[in-house]
């Protein structure tokens, strides 16, 4: 029966064009569970970590990956001041228009602008990246199974060489946690690649953790507010249940059962 099920699943995958490379390269290990400040019912985002993560994105990832769902003004949620946000936005050129002559033009960015995309369109992105398309990172945490644990594992799971007995693939890189293991994106993070203003050592694992925290915030900026609302609703329901029980006892106290 299990053989029939496996055969049927494989046939369905082939019919639908689903990727099956992971099976050929072996099972991908489950990403190790990490302890995140935003995990759990009462978790909150570590603002200092999220700010460092934004720096890593800005200095390392933004050259290839867009974050089209985030505006510069949203950075106030991770603790950046209005002056800092204005300076960050003004540091990029944004295409706008048309003007009175019907022409498009470029201007300095504003806090209300979305993060500027590094490429004009998908074809331009693929042309620069040997046919690979760098995914938009706005919702990457929610778009990948394993969430934050997977992203952290991916960022730290590169090897200089594939395991013994596995032939190298031209233009591809081995990653312990990427489905199929071979990934077109080279190792993005290396020790001391950035300099953090707060003096935090910029190790690969630290940058990966900070970047993951920033990506988690970007995917769910309302997370803390939603959890706080959930706690208030639960407390209200508990109080309401107690009041309802008290009223019931009062009404039925003098009636014989």
DSSP 62-74: TTT---TT-BGGG
Alpha helices in 102-222 (DSSP H): 122-128, 140-143, 147-156, 204-219
Element (DSSP H or E) covering residue 22: helix 21-24
Q: How many helices (H) and strands (E) does the chain have?
A: 9, 4
- Residue 205 confidence (pLDDT) above 50: yes
pLDDT in tens, 114-161: 999 999 889 999 998 888 899 999 999 999 889 999 999 999 999 999
pLDDT at 257: 59
The domain locations on the chain are 31-70+114-247
Q: Which of 17-21, 61-65, 183-187 has the lowest mean pLDDT?
A: 17-21
pLDDT in tens, 70-115: 999 999 999 999 999 999 999 999 988 888 888 899 999 999 999 9
- Residue 15 confidence (pLDDT) above 70: no
pLDDT band at residue 252 using 50, 70 and 90 as cut-offs: confident
Paired with 106 in beta bridges are: 95
- Residue 195 confidence (pLDDT) above 50: yes
pLDDT band at residue 26 using 50, 70 and 90 as cut-offs: low
Cα(16)–Cα(127) distance, integer angstroms: 27
- Residue 17 confidence (pLDDT) above 60: no
Superfamily of domain covering 31-70+114-247: Cytochrome c-like domain (1.10.760.10)
Closest CA to 134 of 150, 146, 148, 118: 118
pLDDT at 249: 85
Q: Which residues have C-beta within 8 Å of that of residue 160, sequence separation ≥ 6?
A: none
The maximal CA–CA distance of the chain, rounded, in angstroms, is 88
Mean pLDDT of the chain: 87
Q: Please state, as a whole number, how many other Cβ atoms lie within 10 Å of the Cβ of residue 140.
A: 21
């Amino acid at each position: 029966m299990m053989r029939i099920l496996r055969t049927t699943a494989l046939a369905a995958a082939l019919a639908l064009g689903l990727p099956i490379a992971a099976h050929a390269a072996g099972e991908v290990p489950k990403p190790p569970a990490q302890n995140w400040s935003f995990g759990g019912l009462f978790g909150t985002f570590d603002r200092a970590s999220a700010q460092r993560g934004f720096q890593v994105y800005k200095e390392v990832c933004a050259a290839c990956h867009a974050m089209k769902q985030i505006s510069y003004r949203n950075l106030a949620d991770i603790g950046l001041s209005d002056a800092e946000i204005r300076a960050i936005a003004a540091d990029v050129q944004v295409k706008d228009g048309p003007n009175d002559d019907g022409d498009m033009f470029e201007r300095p960015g504003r806090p209300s602008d979305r993060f500027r995309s590094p490429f004009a369109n998908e074809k331009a992105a693929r042309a620069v990246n040997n046919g690979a398309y760098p995914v938009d990172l706005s919702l990457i945490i929610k778009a990948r199974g394993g969430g934050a644990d997977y992203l952290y594992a991916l960022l730290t799971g590169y090897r200089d060489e594939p395991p013994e007995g596995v032939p190298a693939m031209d233009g591809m890189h081995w990653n312990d946690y990427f489905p199929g293991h071979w990934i077109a994106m080279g190792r993005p993070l290396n020790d001391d690649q950035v300099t953090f203003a707060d003096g935090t050592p910029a190790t690969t694992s630290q940058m990966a953790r900070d970047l993951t925290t920033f990506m988690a915030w970007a995917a769910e900026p309302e997370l803390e507010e939603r959890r706080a609302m959930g706690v208030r609703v639960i407390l209200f329901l508990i109080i309401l249940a107690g009041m309802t029980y008290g009223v019931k006892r009062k009404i039925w106290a003098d009636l014989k059962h």
